[in-house]
Structure 1
Amino acid sequence: MLAIKRIHHIAIIASDYAASKQFYCDILGFTLLAEVYREARDSWKADLGLNGQYVIELFSFPFPPARPSRPEACGLRHLAFAVDDIQAAVGVLQDKGVTCEPVRTDEFTGKRFTFFSDPDGLPLELYQS
């Protein structure tokens, strides 16, 4: 059996690296752990952490093609972040100009959740744990 311990990181390619870095750090609260410009690829790479743990690799590449989010397409559907208080989290996002869908209740778990998007339209979810 493969002994996977946990998800190590999630990689995201941004069309506007600076805007996405600002969104993930200043709005969502990730910490910039490291950042490097890779000249051979004309690409920035940032390592973003959450609560001291490395979670997201944020990349820039020249002219990346759009990846459809709507209608839902095959592949990664969305990223979900756990929060203790969904209403408070939605309020923080709305205060920062981020539009959230109405909060719903998961019919299987009874937990509350909502969706919003990053600057490239990547679907993100807040899930009350």
Structure 2
Amino acid sequence: MLKLNKIHHIAIICSDYIKARHFYTEVLGFNIVLETYREARDSYKLDLEVGGQYQIELFSFPNPPARPSRPEASGLRHLAFEVDNIEEAVFHLNEYSVETEPIRVDETTGKRFTFFQDPDGLPLELYER
């Protein structure tokens, strides 16, 4: 049987690198591990640390095609981040003018969650621990 240890990284392609870099580092507060400009591809690759464990790779490419996310398109549905206090996290996002959906309760776990979007409309979730 295949033994997978954990998720190593998540790759996201953005349409506006400066805007996405600001969102993921300043608004969400992820730490920059490494930022690389790849001249041959006219592309940036920004490695981000999330909670000291996981890594997000933020890529920019010239004119990437749009990817539909609503209504429920096939493929990756959303990316969820665990938080200790959902009200504090929502307040923080709202302070940066990031709109959030109303906080809901997961019928299965009883945990609270909400959704918001990154600058490209990628659905992101806050899930309370």
Q: TM-score, normalised by structure 2?
A: 0.97
Q: Secondary structure at the match of 1:48?
A: strand
Q: Which runs of 4+ in 1 moved over 4 A?
A: none
Deviation at 1:55, TM superposition (A): 1.3
Residue 107 of structure 1: aligned partner: 107
Deviation at 1:53, TM superposition (A): 3.0
Deviation at 1:69, TM superposition (A): 0.9
CA distance in 2, matches of 1:13, 1:83: 24
Deviation at 1:54, TM superposition (A): 4.3
Contact 2:17–2:60 (CA under 8 A) maintained in structure 1:
yes
CA distance in 1, matches of 2:122, 2:47: 18
- 5+ residue gaps, structure 1: none
Contact 2:20–2:119 (CA under 8 A) maintained in structure 1:
yes
Matches within 5 A, 1:81-120: 81-120=81-120
Matches within 5 A, 1:46-65: 46-65=46-65
Note if 1:42 corresponds to 2:42.
yes
Check 1:112–1:33 CA distance in 2 against 1; reply closer, same or farther (3 A cut).
same
Matched letter for residue 116 of structure 1: F
Contact 2:11–2:56 (CA under 8 A) maintained in structure 1:
yes
Q: TM-score, normalised by structure 1?
A: 0.97
Count of aligned pairs: 129
RMSD of the TM alignment (CA)?
0.8
- 5+ residue gaps, structure 2: none
